[in-house]
Structure 1
Amino acid sequence: MLLTLDDSRHTDFSGVLATKSLIRPPARDPRLRLVPGNVVLFWQDEHLPHAIEVVDGAIRAVRLWSDGTRQIVTFFWPGSVIAPSALQRYTAETLTRCTLRPREDIAAPEPSGTDQALQASLRLLAATGKKSATCRMAWFLLQIREHLPRDPVLPNAFRVVIPRNDIADYLGMTLETACRTLATFRAQGLIDLPTRKTICYLNIPRLIRIASLPSEGAGV
């Protein structure tokens, strides 16, 4: 049983995506599977024979190291397709309840899945390498904006489905720094945080400018 930083009751559903054991929601496509949050879809170094399409929900890809530490490689959102691999280089965990579709029609040979994880890491490095926490956080908020679901109650608010410790892990900063940076953005009128799990984007042009700043001019 995998213990995450934010949830000690993590469930292992690896290997059952293609079976009938998961809840099947009423839909035209009988291949759809409804998977609860905090579920392991597959483990690092496990064989994934076919692709998985994310229809709804959010998934994190986590690299586990031999010393017990971990690093979030990327996130998968609706429309993403997790590539198959003879030997996956990360563990896939559902962040929210997800609707998934097994894609047996996509069965690429190794190193498809490995390449996908590597490309995600390179994109993150290219966007945030040597930049301040302020720049990295602004970039991240802009990246996830189009994927976040609307809050059903609060107007103009989005639901933040990624825990703050995951955000810090992904951006290579401490949890304290991540929280402080979000608080600074709020004080500057760039965003609002009506609740711990919601966000309103108030000044996107300025977030774009901050995300584009060179490291020496960004501040912390």
Structure 2
Amino acid sequence: MTTDILHTQILPTELHPFLPSPTSSPPNVTPRRRQKKPLAVLLLGQTGAGKTRLAPLLLSAFPPSQESPPPLHLIADTYKTYHPSYSACLASHRPELASRLTSAAAAAWLHSVCVHAAQSHIPNILIETACRREGDFERLAETFLGQGYVVRVVVLGVPAALSRLGVMVRYWMRLPEAGPARGLPVRLTPRGVHDGSFGGVGGAVGWVD
């Protein structure tokens, strides 16, 4: 099921519009001039840390190019919505189960999209991740490094108390971070999900060091 969803829904929506066109380069641009290393920026921060607010600034900082499509922006949370049971869980009396039920599939889909993007050498990529699952960040970084990317890591170092507050504020004020701007329903992230993400960010930073 997850493979079918990846190839019939996720890749056509998330990746295919950003694939470089072989005919998009001007004829006077030689292959040698196009051999600039692609760039992948990994934005780390636990749930509620402020990744949604920082991401537009990072996207605007990517080097502009007339030969390349806009930066590909991948957000780990949005892949949960492709899971067939996600909406039903949110509508049930136990909406907190939605994240637990869908997080493994969402992480696998995000990694698969990153593998396809790296193999296609999409020139500029920004990936937001909350590092909830152990090893996910490391796999993403190694995926891009293995394809010759320049990899940069941006860490939002936010105390746990502030990001918990951020989770509550974005929910009660219906801010974009709570879901609507990214195709997600407005939802209150469970504390256990937040705390797991907070620990995961610390582990990822240790791996980078």
User: TM (normalized to structure 2)?
Assistant: 0.26
TM-score, normalising length from structure 1?
Answer: 0.25
More helix by share: 2
